[in-house]
Amino acid sequence: MATDALGLSMALLAIHFANRPPSENRTFGYARAEILAALANCLLLFGVGGYVLYEAVQRFVTPAETEGGLTMVFGIVGLLANLVSLALLMGGQKDSLNVRGAFLEVLADALGSVAVLVSAALILLTGWQAADPIASIVIGLMIVPRTWKLLRETLNVLLESAPKGVDMAEVRAHMLALPGVEDVHDLHAWTITSGMPVLSAHVVVSSEALTAIGHEKMLHELQLCLGDHFDVEHCTFQLEPGGHAEHEPGLCH
């Protein structure tokens, strides 16, 4: 429960900072605070899972007697508290890595409470003390895989990988299919925080197309293409005439 409280506190603090408005120095505000909180929750979950597994092994090496009745009481109290927390976090965990980190923290503890209750019941009914470390191993093995998946998603955001579900080759193909678009280069897409994918690109457009439909219409078509097909609404496009790319520094392509 102490680790739950710490995880939830980090998530709430991150949400508080993420809601602060942008400034001249922080043009995206503190949106990344939620991703950092998700990373911190991952490390906390790995620490809890590793500690539980270590203690379980130690219980096999050096058996210790577990009082089934007291264990049952703590298991019930913990499960009730976790069920309340899960109900509060359920809605937001699909849209935010930060909230999902807190949700997994509470879920792991809730599953742990169930395992504790089962092991306590076995000890009370049969006196089988090995039920306690076995339950601990089950808890640890439930925590680690879910945490690993969350960690991968969090690191992808921090390393500015393409947003989940966005195929960059397909994005390029859609943009090139627009009338007048001759080439697309310096195409980048990344995620600031959960639910905030962004994209930038240099788009080479024929002079005839720009004369016929104008810059504003071309930008509108590009924005519409990305927003409709790939759910990327925050886009920055630089429209260029043919040959302009030869005069740009070759830093990022």
**Per-residue pLDDT tens over the stretch 104-161:** 878 877 887 888 888 888 888 888 878 888 888 888 887 788 788 889 989 999 999 9
Band (188; pLDDT cuts 50, 70, 90)? very high
Whether residue 247 has pLDDT greater than 80 = no
Band (250; pLDDT cuts 50, 70, 90)? low
Q: Which of 198, 202, 195 is nearest to 226 (CA)?
A: 198
User: In 222-232, which positions are buried (b, 16+ CB within 10 angstroms) versus exposed (e)?
Assistant: beebbeeebeb
Please state the rounded mean pLDDT for residues 221-226: 83
Output the CA–CA distances (angstroms, integers) from residue 2 to 30, 83, 89, 106, in the order listed: 27, 16, 17, 11
Quote the CA–CA distance of 8 and 11 in Å, as a whole number: 5
Beta carbons within 8 Å of 15's beta carbon, 6+ residues apart: 34, 98, 99
Contact 54, 32 (CB under 8 A): no
Please state the rounded mean pLDDT for residues 7-34: 86
Please state the rounded mean pLDDT for residues 12-17: 86
Helix (H) or strand (E) holding 221: helix 207-230
User: How high does pLDDT run on average in the chain?
Assistant: 83
Q: How many CA atoms lie within 13 A of 37 on its CB side?
A: 30
pLDDT for residue 253: 47
3-state SS, residue 185: strand
Band (243; pLDDT cuts 50, 70, 90)? low
Band (245; pLDDT cuts 50, 70, 90)? low
Domains and CATH numbers, the chain: 2-158 (1.20.1510.10), 168-247 (3.30.70.1350)
Helices (H), 159-167: none
Output the CA–CA distances (angstroms, integers) from residue 27 to 24, 53, 137, in the order listed: 6, 43, 46
Whether residue 94 has pLDDT greater than 80 = no
Please state the rounded mean pLDDT for residues 47-54: 86
Whether residue 251 has pLDDT greater than 70 = no
Whether residue 62 has pLDDT greater than 60 = yes
Quote the CA–CA distance of 55 and 36 in Å, as a whole number: 29
pLDDT for residue 202: 93
Angle (CA) 16-5-2 rounded to 5° is 155
Whether residue 175 has pLDDT greater than 80 = yes
pLDDT for residue 104: 80
Please state the rounded mean pLDDT for residues 151-174: 89
| Percentage of residues in the chain having pLDDT higher than 90 | 10
**How is the beta sheet containing 181-191 ordered, strand by strand?**
181-191, 197-205, 234-240
Whether residue 34 has pLDDT greater than 80 = yes
